[in-house]
């Protein structure tokens, strides 16, 4: 890889981490959508979608499944390798969803802002998954209430949360509030990037949060 492309990759990742509003996200990912899979996921050996998918399948997650912050469909692809279940996608970026739609893994796409509430009825999905949405400059712990609103009784959610983001925004306190409603929650730590990643962020981790309704 040329030094110019390497520099571009790191700048895009840093810009993504520095996003501070829904509008920033829409504008940024509009320009990155077509190149995201190669420019970021491929080069960075981004294994977080695989981590979420394997946890969801291991815990016998059922459909229909909503992929929250689906982006270009990397998580949907991983789940489809294990199980051909019905999956829908939602993301704040219409351009990212358009890329995901081309992969033929989602039967429905919904443009929406998780932080402002999704146009989805209560108790709609038996499974909810998310990879890379709860991270720097993106979505905070308050969005977990929206996740649990649309999760059906007996459903399962598996969500990745950047470890640094988890501690800085106080996910623990929100998780305790959710547990008081009867939700069962478990947390484990996983790597975000694989062995091929050579970036400064190669050792970054995420928490896998599983919620059972």
What would the pLDDT profile of 45-86 be if each residue is shown by its tens digit? 899 999 999 999 999 999 999 999 999 999 999 999 998 899
Predicted local distance difference test score (pLDDT) of residue 8:
45
Predicted local distance difference test score (pLDDT) of residue 34:
52
**Whether residue 202 has pLDDT greater than 70:** yes
**Whether residue 191 has pLDDT greater than 50:** yes
Nearest by Cα to 132 from 92, 183, 83, 84: 92
Q: At what angle do helices 48-58 and 74-82 cross, to 10 degrees?
A: 40
Predicted local distance difference test score (pLDDT) of residue 117:
95
Predicted local distance difference test score (pLDDT) of residue 10:
47
First to last CA, the chain: 46
Q: CA-to-CA distance for 210 and 185, rounded, in angstroms?
A: 6
130-167 pLDDT tens trace: 998 998 656 899 999 999 999 999 999 999 999 998 98
Least confident of 29-38, 148-157, 183-192: 29-38
CATH of the domain spanning 3-212? 3.40.50.150
Please answer whether residues 158 and 210 qualify as being in contact, where contact means their C-beta atoms are separated by less than 8 angstroms.
yes
pTM comes to 0.85
Predicted local distance difference test score (pLDDT) of residue 22:
54
Please answer whether residues 204 and 17 qualify as being in contact, where contact means their C-beta atoms are separated by less than 8 angstroms.
no
Nearest by Cα to 137 from 24, 9, 7: 24
Predicted local distance difference test score (pLDDT) of residue 198:
84
């Amino acid at each position: 890889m040329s030094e110019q492309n390497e520099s571009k990759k790191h700048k895009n990742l840093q810009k993504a981490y520095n996003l501070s509003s829904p509008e920033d996200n829409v504008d940024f990912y509009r320009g990155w959508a077509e190149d995201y899979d190669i420019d970021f996921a491929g080069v960075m050996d981004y294994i977080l979608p695989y981590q979420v998918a394997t946890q969801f399948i291991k815990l016998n997650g059922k459909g229909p499944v909503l992929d929250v912050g689906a982006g270009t469909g990397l998580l949907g692809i991983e789940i489809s390798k294990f199980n051909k279940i019905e999956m829908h996608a939602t993301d704040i970026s219409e351009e990212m969803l358009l890329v995901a739609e081309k992969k033929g893994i989602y039967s429905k796409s919904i443009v929406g802002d998780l932080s402002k509430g999704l146009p989805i009825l209560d108790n709609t999905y038996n499974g909810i998954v998310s990879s890379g949405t709860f991270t720097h400059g993106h979505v905070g712990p308050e969005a977990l209430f929206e996740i649990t609103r649309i999760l059906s009784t007996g459903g399962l959610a598996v969500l990745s949360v950047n470890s640094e983001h988890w501690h800085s925004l106080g996910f623990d306190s929100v998780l305790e509030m959710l547990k008081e409603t009867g939700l069962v929650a478990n947390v484990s730590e996983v790597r975000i990037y694989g062995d091929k990643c050579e970036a400064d962020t190669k050792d970054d981790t995420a928490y896998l949060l599983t919620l059972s309704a």
